[in-house]
Amino acid sequence: MTKTTTEPKSTTPDVIVRAASDPDFRARLLQDATATLAELGIVLPPEVTVKVVENTPSVVHLVLPALATEELTEGQLDQVAGGTSGENLDSASELLRTLMKEHNDTQMNIIKNI
């Protein structure tokens, strides 16, 4: 797994706020999310793909989580993420988890309001 050498300069809310207010950044994020996030110090492992889509008044994206076949222990999660048992996940993996949770929370709020 690729490890970041520094802490990310931005967090998920920073990325979303900037995408909402900076059309050039938004376009780059939609075009190549991995490279755009890397500009902010957010380096993802090569096996992780981030796809950014945008909702419109007539199209709402509903993202389903991957099906889990069984619950993994923290040690197994560390190994799958490229670390070793007992080590903390690197900041990119933590950011990815945060992104997924925030996205799922947002989707649930949209569904409640439909």
> How confident is the prediction along the chain (114 residues), in pLDDT tens digits per residue?
444 444 556 677 888 899 999 999 999 999 999 999 999 888 888 888 889 999 888 999 888 887 766 666 777 666 666 554 444 445 666 666 676 777 667 666 655 654
Query: How is 56-112 classified by DSSP, letter by letter?
Result: -SS----PPPPPPSSPPPHHHHHHHTTS-TTSPPPHHHHHHHHHHHHHHHHHHHHHH
Largest CA distance in the chain: 46
Asked whether the whole model's pTM tops 0.85, one would answer no
The Cα 20–Cα 113 span in angstroms is 22
Residue with tokens 């950044």: 25
What is the DSSP secondary structure assignment for residue 40, as one 8-state letter?
Answer: T
